Structure 1
Amino acid sequence: MTLDRSVLAFAGIMVLLSVVLTIWVSPLFVWLTVFVGLNLVQSAFTGFCPAAAVFKMLGVKPGRAF
């Protein structure tokens, strides 16, 4: 899996997890959804994504998705 796809998959999993936690644990987990959304917006404008940096350290290679 490429770096881009790994970041997208991680963001999707975090959003779904935060929705599940909001419904079944506490409504305050909605802030996790807000944090993930804000992080996606800031990375679109700045080009810096903390999750991508972590995945690079873990050895995920950037490359073509096809």
Structure 2
Amino acid sequence: MTIEKFMMIMVGSMVLVSTILAYTVSASWLLLTGFIGLNLLISGITGFCPMVYFLRKAGLKHGCAFRNC
């Protein structure tokens, strides 16, 4: 699995879970969704994502996230 695929799966799961928790438990869970969105925005602008550092240390490699790359 590549870093890009792992990140898409993890971020998508976190947004989905935090949205469900906001609907069922407390609206405060939307803060997590907002934090994830802010991190994605900053990563897109700066090209730096702290999670990628840890995934590289764990042995994951960069690669193509889509089949037609």
Length, aligned pairs only: 66
**TM-score, with structure 2 as normaliser:** 0.84
Percent of aligned pairs with the same amino acid: 41
Residue type of the alignment partner of 1:10: M
Runs of 5+ consecutive residues of structure 2 not aligned to the other structure: none
In the TM superposition, 1:48-63 aligns within 5 A as 48-63=48-63
Q: Show CA shifts across 1:1-47 (max 9, x none).
A: 11111111111111001101111221100000000000000000000
Instruction: Kindly report the root-mean-square deviation, in angstroms, between the aligned alpha carbons of the 2 structures.
Output: 1.3
Runs of 4+ in 1 over 6 A off after TM superposition: none
**TM-score, with structure 1 as normaliser:** 0.87
In the TM superposition, residue 64 of structure 1 has moved relative to its aligned partner by 3.2
In the alignment, what sits opposite 1:36?
36
Q: Is the 8 A contact 2:4 2:64 kept in 1?
A: no
In the TM superposition, 1:1-66 aligns within 5 A as 1-65=1-65, 66=67
